[in-house]
Amino acid sequence: MLHLDTGNTGFMILCTSLVMLMTPGLAFFYGGLVGRKNVLAIMIQSFVSMGWTTVIWYLYGYSLCFSGDWHGIIGNLDNFCLRGIGLTTPSPNNTIPMMVFIAYQMMFAIITPALISGAFTNRVSFKAYCLFLTGWLTFVYFPFVHMVWGGGILQRWGVLDFAGGIVVHNIAGLAALASVLYVGKRRILDRGPHSIPLVALGTGLLWFGWYGFNAGSEMRVDSVTASAFLNTDIAASFAAVAWLAVAWFRERKPKFLGLLTGAVAGLATITPAAGYVSPTTAVIIGLVSGVVCYFAVEMKNHLHWDDALDVWGVHGVGGFLGIIMLGLFANKAFNPAAGTNGLLYGNPSFFVKQLVAVIFSSVWAFSFTYGMLWVINLFTPVKVTEMSEELGLDESIHGEHAYETLEVEELFQGEPHDLIERLDEKEELVGSRK
What is the per-residue pLDDT across 305-316, written as a single tens digit (0 to 9) for each? 999 999 999 999
Amino acid at position 297, single letter: V
- Among residues 237, 208, 120, the alpha carbon closest in space to that of 172 is found at 120
**Percent residues over pLDDT 70 in the chain:** 93
Q: Give the pLDDT score at 192.
A: 74
Average pLDDT of the residues in 369-397: 94
Residue 123, classified by CB atoms within 10 Å of its CB into exposed (0-12), middle (13-18) or buried (19+), is buried
CA distance 307 to 61: 28
Q: Is 393 exposed, middle or buried (0-12, 13-18, 19+ CB in 10 A)?
A: buried
pLDDT value at residue 422: 54
Distance CA 101, CA 271 (A): 19
Q: Indicate if the pLDDT at residue 131 is higher than 50.
A: yes
More confident site: 178 or 390: 178
Would the pLDDT of 218 be above 60? yes
Give the pLDDT of residue 12. Answer: 97
Q: Give me the helix-helix angle, 98-116 and 39-56, nearest 10°.
A: 150
Of 118, 101, 120, 106, nearest to 30 (Cα)? 118
If 0-12 CB within 10 Å is exposed, 13-18 middle and 19+ buried, where does residue 105 land?
buried
Higher pLDDT, 416 or 357: 357
| pLDDT value, residue 418 | 54
* pLDDT band at 180; cut points 50, 70, 90: very high
Contacts of 341 (CB under 8 A, 6+ apart): 330, 331, 332, 347, 350
CATH of 6-387, one of 3.30.930.10, 1.10.3430.10, 3.40.50.1000, 3.20.20.60: 1.10.3430.10
Please report the pLDDT score of residue 412 as a whole number: 47
pLDDT at 87 over 60: yes
pLDDT at position 79 is 96
Residue closest to 266 by CA, chosen among 301, 233, 295, 298: 233
Lowest mean pLDDT of 70-74, 233-237, 391-395, name the range.
391-395
- Which has the higher per-residue pLDDT, 416 or 127? 127
